Structure 1
Amino acid sequence: MAGSTVVVGVVACSALLTIGLVTAGAAAVLGQRLAGAADAAALAAADAASGAIVGEPCRRADEIATALGVAVTACNLDLLTATVTVSAPFGHLTGSASARAGPPP
């Protein structure tokens, strides 16, 4: 009887550890996805601000972010430099990332 109690405890601990590691891995994947989407959206906005592509910069950033499955929560322009923040849900939480693109200083 004592052996089966130990086995149940070990299985329960292993299950909890696995769930925790999977959740941490999923959060890391979301973070990288958000960072890539923020970079792409900021580059699109900076290109539109400089005239390299046609369109309104923040609208271009929103188009790219939507195509990548995230939402733009902030888009700011400082001359030709664009700063874009994107977000996406992660369970009951929301993850976000920001990126800046423009000409070198």
Structure 2
Amino acid sequence: MRGTVRADRGAATVWTAVAACALCVVFGAVLALGQAVTARHRAGGAADLAALAAADRALWGEADACAAANRVATAQGATLVRCGVSEDIADVTARVTLGAWTTEIRSRAGPPPATPLPGPPPGAPRPYG
């Protein structure tokens, strides 16, 4: 058996190379997904904070409110795409580009509704003492 060549010689090298390539593809997909999720969360946070800043300045007029929203969005690494104030409700859209991913998130902020939220009836026992 010493002088014969076996047909499967080097097969482990091929399988190892295929497995390494597959792991690289999976790793790249996980990195891309993480980048997309990061962009989405960054845009959401920037939009929420910009909407709160605009709602805080809503009584000063739309120009001042949107200027405050733009400052906050820029500080969060986002771009303010749209800003509007209707009465005392601020409505903004922020955009974040991270790598190959671009995401836009819309957020609204304002005072609580005039009608109270439904709760337990008067005289009902409180669940936590």
Return 78-87 or 89-98, whichever deviates more: 89-98
Q: TM-score, normalised by structure 2?
A: 0.74
Larger Rg: 2
Structure having the larger proportion of residues in strand: 1
- Point out where structure 1 has 5 or more consecutive residues left out of the alignment: none
Cα deviation, residue 91, structure 1: 2.7
Q: Give the aligned CA root-mean-square deviation in angstroms.
A: 1.4
DSSP 3-state at the match of 1:103 = coil
- Aligned runs of 1:68-79 on 2, under 5 Å? 68-79=76-87
- Give structure 2 stretches of 5+ with no counterpart: 1-9, 114-129
CA distance in 2, matches of 1:64, 1:13: 42
Identity of aligned residues (%): 33
Separation of aligned partners in 1, 2:26 and 2:59: 50
- Which residue of the other structure, out of 16, 20, 27, is the alignment partner of 2:25? 16
Q: Which has the higher contact order (CA 8 A, sep 6+)?
A: 1
Relative to the length of structure 1, the TM-score reads 0.90
Give the Å deviation of 1:4: 0.6
Runs (4+) of structure 1 exceeding 2 A deviation are 90-93
Q: Cα offset for 1:32?
A: 0.9
Which structure shows the bigger proportion of residues in helix conformation? 1
Amino acid at match of 1:94: T
- Which residue of structure 1 aligns with residue 103 of structure 2? 95
Q: Determine if contact 2:42/2:96 at 8 Å carries over to the other structure.
A: no
User: Which of 71, 74, 79 is the matching residue for 1:66?
Assistant: 74
Match of 1:81?
89
Aligned residues: 102
